[in-house]
Structure formats: structure tokens, C-alpha cells
């Protein structure tokens, strides 16, 4: 067989992380006192009216969803990456779990910590984030625990209502994709749909 020189050769590597580039979600969930916590996450995908979330065990987001199914899947645009990174070293869990203590600290009010504005939702008790151009009200249908030794949950949510910033709606049924610039988390670095914006505090390269 003649080798096609246009196809690069491959090498086997052992990546420490496999976050291959998905949109960032700012997940709001209901705290015990009725306020909302914000969990930055990127393991999320949609099919019809379901959105599946991957959440680490021991995080406040999963603890809240295990007690109260309400949530909002807020989608930040690329220009909000500094606010997302302001949330990155925080957890709503107090005291901070030992496994996270070296890099994370507790924040009761993550809206204040990141300069974000809560908005009441229509169908759920968790707040929307006003600055996020897409805000999806949803509730948990099932939570399945998996993973060894690092445990995480596969959370299936059902969408109830979708809000978008005025300029983003092409019609009552469509988002204008040319105007939507999601914040992409790729191997711990932030991108828009163009060039790199920066990286998270935990990035090693
Ligand atoms: C951009 C970004 C994406 C992340 N993606 C996820 C994710 O998909 N799932 C997850 O459990 N944690 C993810 N994390 C880590 C959590 O945000 C982190 O554990 C945080 O402390 C959780 O907050 P909480 O304990 O208040 O829920 C991500 C962090 C950042 C900055």
C-alpha cells in the first residue's frame, strides 16, 4: 500500500484530561436556603428536549440536584470567559472537600463573586443568569452514579422553557446561529468560535 503523505502519522499518548472541546454551561441549582449556586461545567449535551449533564461527586451542583430537581442550564457567550474563570476556583460546598482544598475555596454567593445578576425563572426555583444569552429552565429526571475511582453522575434533565437574549432569536422557534458565539472549553483552555481567549487556573500547558 502506498502511504498518503497528506495524512499525518499518529502517536499514542496518555492525556491527563480528555475535555476535547464542548460549550461551557453555568448550571444554577437550588441551595438549602433557596438561593442559587452556580456550577461551571462543560460535560453537557442535548437531544430533543433532554439535556445530559456530567457532574462530579461531592460538588454542590450535584448535592443540590439530588435534593431539588430544579436547575437552569445557562449558556455563556465567549465574552463572559473572565466571569466563568472567576467562578472556576470556587465551590458551594462548606467545608471544601479535602480532595479540592488545595485549589478551591468556598463561596456562598457565586453571583456576587463573579459579578453576575440573578433573574427569577418561570418554571423552576433556581435563578437564571441575566448575562447569559441562552437560559434553559429544566428539571432532573434521573441521576446515575458511575466512575471508578473518580465517581461522577450522569444527570438527565427535561427542558421546560428556553429564554434567549432578544438579538439572538431568529424567530419564535429558532436561535440565529450566526449570532451565537458559545464559550468553548477545550483541554482546559477557553475559545470562542475563533481564536483562543485564555486558560483556566488548573491548566498545565
Ligand atoms: C470551564 C469549566 C468546566 C468544568 N466542567 C465540569 C463538568 O463538566 N463537570 C463537573 O463536575 N465539574 C466541572 N468543572 C469543575 C467544577 O466547576 C468545580 O468542581 C466546582 O468547584 C463545582 O462547584 P460546586 O461545588 O459549587 O458545584 C468545570 C470547571 C470549569 C471552570
Report pLDDT digits (tens) over 94-116.
999 999 999 999 999 999 999 99
Would the CB of 72 count as within 6 Å of ligand 1? no
- pLDDT tens digit sequence for 31-69: 999 999 999 999 999 999 999 999 999 999 999 999 999
Cβ 44 vs Cβ 54: under 8 Å: yes
How far the first Cα of the chain sits from its last, in Å, is 38
Mean pLDDT is lowest, of 1-15, 107-121, 141-155, 168-182, for 1-15
Of 116, 66, 68, nearest in space to 90 by CA: 116
Would the CB of 41 count as within 6 Å of ligand 1? yes
Give the pairing of strands 128-129 and 90-91. Answer: unpaired
For the CA of 24, the closest atom of ligand 1 is 1
For the CA of 38, the closest atom of ligand 1 is 26
Would the CB of 71 count as within 6 Å of ligand 1? no
Q: pTM (2 decimals)? A: 0.95
Asked if pLDDT for residue 73 goes beyond 90, the answer is yes
What is the DSSP secondary-structure string of 24-46?
-EEEEEE-TTS-EEEEEE--EEE
C-alpha–C-alpha distance, residues 117 and 132, integer Å:
10
Would the CB of 140 count as within 6 Å of ligand 1? no
Would the CB of 36 count as within 6 Å of ligand 1? no
- pLDDT tens digit sequence for 159-202: 999 999 999 999 999 999 999 999 999 999 999 998 788 888 98
Would the CB of 190 count as within 6 Å of ligand 1? no
Phi, psi of 64 (to 5 degrees): -65, -45
Give the residue, out of 19, 26, 59, with the most ligand 1 atoms within 8 A of its beta carbon, to mutate for a pocket test. 59
Q: What is the CATH number of domain 23-199?
A: 2.30.110.10
Average pLDDT over residues 87-100: 97
Specify the DSSP class assigned to residue 59: -
Q: What are the b/e assignments for 32-45, b being 16+ CB within 10 Å? A: eeebbbbbbbbbbe
Amino acid at each position: 500500500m502506498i502511504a498518503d503523505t497528506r495524512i499525518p502519522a499518529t502517536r499514542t499518548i496518555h492525556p491527563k484530561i480528555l475535555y476535547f472541546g464542548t460549550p461551557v454551561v453555568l448550571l444554577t441549582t437550588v441551595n438549602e436556603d433557596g438561593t442559587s449556586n452556580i456550577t461551571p461545567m462543560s460535560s453537557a449535551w442535548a437531544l430533543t428536549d433532554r439535556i445530559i449533564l456530567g457532574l462530579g461527586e461531592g460538588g454542590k451542583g450535584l448535592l443540590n440536584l439530588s435534593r431539588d430537581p430544579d436547575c437552569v442550564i445557562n449558556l455563556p457567550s465567549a465574552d463572559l470567559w473572565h466571569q466563568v474563570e472567576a467562578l472556576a476556583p470556587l465551590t458551594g460546598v462548606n467545608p471544601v472537600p479535602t480532595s479540592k482544598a488545595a485549589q478551591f475555596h468556598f463561596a456562598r454567593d457565586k453571583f456576587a463573586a463573579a459579578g453576575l445578576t440573578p433573574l427569577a425563572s418561570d418554571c423552576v426555583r433556581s435563578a437564571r443568569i441575566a448575562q447569559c444569552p441562552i437560559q434553559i429552565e429544566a428539571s432532573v429526571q434521573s441521576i446515575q452514579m458511575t466512575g471508578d475511582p473518580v465517581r461522577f453522575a450522569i444527570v438527565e434533565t427535561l427542558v421546560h422553557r428556553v429564554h434567549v437574549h432578544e438579538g439572538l432569536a431568529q424567530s419564535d422557534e429558532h436561535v440565529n446561529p450566526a449570532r451565537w458565539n458559545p464559550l468553548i472549553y477545550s483541554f482546559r483552555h477557553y475559545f470562542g468560535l475563533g481564536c483562543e481567549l485564555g486558560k483556566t487556573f488548573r491548566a498545565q500547558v
